[in-house]
A = this chain, B = another copy of it.
Amino acid sequence: MIFNRTTEYAFRIMSFLASDKEKLHNTSDIFDALHIPFRYLRKQMTVLTKTGLVVSIQGKYGGYMLAKKEKDITLWDIVIAMHDKLFETNCFFGYEKCALSQHCMMHSRWAGVKEMIENILKTTTLEDFKKENMHDLIKMSDQ
């Protein structure tokens, strides 16, 4: 896997919240759309809230909404916020650090892969998903 499951959940949750930025979405709404395990979803919503990407309103008629404009939240922001260890190491072989004086053949190739992924994540914002109507997309397809 490239992203861990929890980060994938976060992508979907954030996309869903972007589908109507102004509305307050409660956990049941999100569950109905995404079918992420309910109690785990509850937990992850408070995690997302603590990251600052999402704002929560407590109490009756409470719920969640994006903390910033869709165009100001990138997928990269989400990966970072979720502490996904996607790029924990630079080394293709998983070495913490390489003591070699000159890089092996994989180093630059792998740097290319990293760069491509980072570039996609950094240039894709939730605004793009809104355009694509990810709301409907996500609703139809679970498991």
Contacts A104-B137, A112-B116, A113-B120; A3 near B94 (Cβ below 8 A): yes
Q: Report the count of interface residues on A (CB-CB < 8 A).
A: 43
A99-143 interface bits toward B, Cβ cutoff 8 Å, 1 = contact, 0 = none: 110001110011011001100100010001101101011101111
This chain: how many copies in the complex?
Answer: 2
Is A67 part of the binding interface, using a Cβ–Cβ cutoff of 8 Å? Answer: no
Q: Are B96 and A143 in contact (CB under 8 A)?
A: yes
Q: List 19 A-B contacts (CB under 8 A).
A: A1-B86, A1-B94, A2-B2, A5-B94, A8-B94, A11-B93, A93-B138, A95-B142, A96-B143, A97-B141, A98-B141, A100-B136, A104-B132, A104-B134, A105-B124, A105-B128, A109-B124, A112-B116, A113-B116
